[in-house]
Chains A and B, each alone.
Chain A
Amino acid sequence: MISLEVKIPDTPGSLIELIKPISNNGGNIYGILHFHDRKTNNMIPVNISFELSESIQEVSLNKIKNELKERSIQIEKISYGIEKKLLTVLLTGHVFDTDVMDTIKRLASKDISVLELHAKFTDLKEYSNVKLKIEFPEEMNKKELTDELRKICKEKNLLLITS
Chain B
Amino acid sequence: MSMPKRVLIVEDEISIRESLADLFASDDVVVVTAATLDEAKAALFTKLPIDLIITDLRLGGNRDGGLQVLAAAGLVHADTPAIVLTAYPDDDNRHASERLNAAVFLEKPVDLSVIARMARDHGITSALWPSDGAAN
Do the two shown chains form a genuine complex with each other? no
Q: Which residues of A contact B (CB under 8 A)?
A: none
